[in-house]
Amino acid sequence: EDTRWLNNFHACQLITDFYEGDYLSAEKHFQFVFSDPSFKMPRHITIYTTFFGGLNALRLCQTDCKTLARLKCGKEMMERLEIWSKNVTAVFGNKWMLLQAEYSASMGEQEKAQLLYKSSIDAAKDHGNIHELALAYELIGYHLCATFGQGTQSDECFKKACLYYNQWGATVLCERLRIKHKLASVPDSNVLRTGKLKRSS
């Protein structure tokens, strides 16, 4: 029970630090959970630790901290999501695509990465995963910044991320993103309607 409590704590800190952009701290929390033998058991904590642990490793690979170990970690978490996605696409499909996008970006496969980001966005919309839709828009925004520099394309993605973070109720994430990227304005947050989100370009 003590181990489970600690794992839950470190998993929560992993996600918090990831969203705050403190990837090195998030990595330490991920390693704590990952080193526990119970990590291989299919539990709720395993799903999100796998997803955010993989994203975090690949984010580090794209921020001047690329190592073979981090790239390998990202790929391993991506392959786990692939297996789960084949069984429950509605839950895991967009997560797997987002990890693929980040992995491709880490490997310098920019065009492939951009297509995968968009596929993840579409899958998140189809299944109403609004928080992961916001995250996908944020990450493709970073990808566009790294590839072309911050401009209209990346700003539009960040604005959409803000919109969906707001609709999810994560107003702090929206405001942090707005300030970080000096967005003059963000779309108004309307109450999200029940049902599938519409795809958009």
> In this predicted model, what pLDDT tens digit does every residue of 119-147 receive, in sequence order?
999 999 999 999 999 999 999 999 999 99
The residue count of the chain comes to: 201
**What local confidence, expressed as pLDDT, does residue 114 receive?**
96
**What local confidence, expressed as pLDDT, does residue 4 receive?**
81
Helix, strand, or coil (residue 140)? helix
CA distance 153 to 150: 8
Residue 196's pLDDT band, with cuts at 50, 70 and 90, is very low
Q: Using one digit for the tens of pLDDT, what is the confidence trace for 81-119?
A: 999 999 999 999 999 999 999 999 999 999 999 999 999
Residue 29, judged by CB atoms within 10 A of its CB (0-12, 13-18, 19+), counts as buried
Range from 15-29, 75-89, 155-169, 182-196 carrying the lowest mean pLDDT: 182-196
CA distance 170 to 178: 13
Residues 6+ apart with CB under 8 A from 46: 39, 40
**What local confidence, expressed as pLDDT, does residue 200 receive?**
45
- Assess contact for 76 and 41: CB atoms under 8 A: no
Give the CA count within 13 Å in the CB-facing half-sphere of 103. Answer: 21
